[in-house]
Copies of this chain bind each other. A is one copy, B any other.
Amino acid sequence: MLFHSFIYLLSIVLFWMKAENKHSKIISAATKVFAKKGFFTARISDIAKEAKVADGTIYLYFNNKYDILLSVFEEEVGKIVENTENLLIAEADPHKQLEIFVTQHLMAMKKNRHLAEVIQIELRQTHKVIKEYRDNKFSKYTGIIAEIIKNGQLAGIFRLDIKPDLAKRAFFGALDEISRVWNSSLETNYSVEEITAQMLSIFLTGIQTTPSTFPEQVFFLPSQP
């Protein structure tokens, strides 16, 4: 009886592993193919071939082509978000938190170099329904940056005239664009450490040698019309 239960459970686990295997095999094949050909020019048969699976099999695990893209995005980005959030909780210093964010992002992109491109594709594809969904998911990610900045402002470490809303976009955009070219370009590759250092250097202290001399520096902005 006990034995039977065991076998039963085992079979469930095996079944699950197998299914999960095929599921994730398709996910990673799709990531690869989407990154290489772009969502629209990627054919289902390409993904199937890459995953060593029949075309029809894909439809046992996903509803349609778009669902695959969505899953790639959700699962892979979800991992990053979760990962990053966990690391951030353990760290109180906003400086360090920014550093962690950058490092995490870059490492994730390096680990899965196709992912950066898929994020780009997904992020830019405009499909109302999905956009809303994605926006929630994604603004959570960029929202992390805004939170860090706000905390830094409360702590008096970051300047109060910086608008977290804008700064988070600037920060994410910078990181995203760097990742994009990082993968695909044949130029000298910078290391994660180098990029992190530069990013923090730029965003924390700016590129000027003498910060106080720039006359246009504005600490209090006029309210908008």
Mark A residues whose CB is within 8 Å of B: 35-41, 88-89, 92-96, 99, 117, 120-121, 124-127, 147, 149, 151-152, 155-159, 161-163, 165-167, 169-178, 180-181, 184, 187, 190-191, 194-195, 197-212, 214-225
Contact = CB atoms under 8 A, between A and B. Distances in A.
A107 B61 CA distance: 46
A29 B171 CA distance: 33
Contacts of A221: 92-94, 151, 155, 194, 197-198
Nearest to A224: B191
Contact of A206 (B126, B174, B195, B205): B205
Nearest to A162: B207
B165 A201 contact: no
Contacts of A166: 178, 190, 195, 198-199
Chain A contact residues, majority secondary structure? helix
Nearest to A157: B219
Nearest to A155: B221
Contacts of A176: 173, 177
A170 B219 CA distance: 23
Nearest to A200: B216
B202 A208 contact: no
A148 to B, nearest CB: 9
Contacts of A220: 92-93
